[in-house]
Amino acid sequence: MAEDLEKLYARLSLNANEEILIPTSAIIQDNTDLNLCLVGKILAPRIISPDQISSLFKRLWSPKGSFSCKSIHDNICIFSFDNLLDKKKVLASTPWLFDRYLLVLHDAVADINPSEINYSHCDFWVQLHHLPLGLMNKEFAKIAGNSIGRFLETDTDAFGSVMGKYIRIKVNIDITKPLHRVIHADVHGQKRAIYLKYERLPDFCFHCGIIGHVFRDCETRILNPPENSENFEFGNWLKAPYGPSTSSNHKRPPPSPASIQNQNPPNPPHDTLNQTSIPSPPSPTRPHSNDSISNLPPTHLLPS
Ligand SMILES: [Zn+2]
């Protein structure tokens, strides 16, 4: 709606009175005044009721102080806290999901309307699987994180080590681009594949790998239908499993209410296809479900 209005006003011929600039420097709130606020956009193909957004996140976040959620535009809300700790806890625990849809949070900015904010990045915990032992260190974790986004932190055990079945890294990711599925390292002249899995991954497109839509709504797929509609380049195998940690020496936190919400959406939307019902692409090498490599990508992604 805001974009429609922008286009409409852009083509109007304004008169002199309408062009007068109102001075605001003495009254405009600065970013500091807004530091108890967050703006957020839910990347969903349907409009979600602001009341539903408010009640869900109030329940999930359980703020100690007062809290309000007001709708600014479709699926865009401003969340106001009166306790900075509450806000910091919310930001530290991203990503947050509404049903299976991602809530992208951003600091409130004084100079623009929340609809103009670029909701293009979000922090995710990413697991690095199939690592050579010599690369199970913080230095490689940082390099790997920066190869798929902006590295933020690494999960370590009580001794400060990252060694385990996989390394967990927190990365700020550009969600307008396809999810990275694998990275490669040159290990003494040998190409080694390292497989990525994402914790609390929302709905994403199995065709193009971008978060925010499913393959039936994928414009890329509609414009260029694949020859074999059964084959997908992306799938649920990118989702890290929930439940007990597969990395026994890591301080992995228990699933948050948001992840529980993701596993058991209370109100599945009727206007989108639930891709989670689609089986993962067949993998002849996929062993039984409890095996530690059972969630590796299908073989067509493996290096030859
Ligand atoms: Zn797509």
**Distance of alpha carbon 151 from alpha carbon 8, whole angstroms:** 41
Asked if the model's pLDDT at residue 145 lies above 50, the reply is: yes
How many Å lie between the centroid of ligand 1 and the Cα of residue 208?
A: 4
How many Å lie between the centroid of ligand 1 and the Cα of residue 175?
A: 12
Q: Compute φ and ψ for 303, nearest 5 degrees.
A: -65, 145
Q: Compute φ and ψ for 80, nearest 5 degrees.
A: -115, 130
36: containing domain: 2-116
- 251-294 pLDDT, tens digit per residue, is 444 444 443 343 333 333 333 333 433 333 333 333 333 333 33
How many Å lie between the centroid of ligand 1 and the Cα of residue 185?
A: 28
At 48 the pLDDT is 96
Q: Are residues 6 and 112 in the same domain?
A: yes
Q: Are residues 125 and 233 in the same domain?
A: yes
**Distance of alpha carbon 142 from alpha carbon 169, whole angstroms:** 8
Average pLDDT score over the chain: 82
How many Å lie between the centroid of ligand 1 and the Cα of residue 106?
A: 24
Residue 213 resides in a domain: yes
Q: Are residues 12 and 110 in the same domain?
A: yes
How many Å lie between the centroid of ligand 1 and the Cα of residue 213?
A: 6
Q: How many CB atoms lie within 10 A of CB 41?
A: 23
Q: Are residues 133 and 235 in the same domain?
A: yes
Ranges 146-160, 163-177, 207-221, 226-240: which has the least confidence = 226-240
Residue 266 resides in a domain: no
- 93-127 pLDDT, tens digit per residue, is 999 999 999 999 999 989 999 999 999 999 999 99
- 41-61 pLDDT, tens digit per residue, is 999 999 999 999 999 999 999
Q: Are residues 70 and 140 in the same domain?
A: no
How many Å lie between the centroid of ligand 1 and the Cα of residue 149?
A: 20
Residue 216 resides in a domain: yes
Mean pLDDT of 137-155: 97
At 202 the pLDDT is 96
**Distance of alpha carbon 134 from alpha carbon 144, whole angstroms:** 14
| Three-state secondary-structure class, residue 147 | helix
Q: Are residues 125 and 106 in the same domain?
A: no
Q: Are residues 55 and 142 in the same domain?
A: no
Q: Are residues 145 and 102 in the same domain?
A: no
At 4 the pLDDT is 78
CATH number at residue 54: 3.30.70.330
The predicted model scores a pTM of: 0.77
At 156 the pLDDT is 92
**Distance of alpha carbon 133 from alpha carbon 188, whole angstroms:** 13
Residue 256 resides in a domain: no
- For the chain, the domain total comes to 2
At 41 the pLDDT is 97
* Runs of H (alpha helix) within 11-133: 16-19, 50-61, 84-92
Residue 282 resides in a domain: no
Q: Are residues 125 and 112 in the same domain?
A: no
Q: Are residues 92 and 126 in the same domain?
A: no
At 162 the pLDDT is 94
Q: Are residues 191 and 244 in the same domain?
A: yes
How many Å lie between the centroid of ligand 1 and the Cα of residue 129?
A: 25
Q: Are residues 208 and 89 in the same domain?
A: no
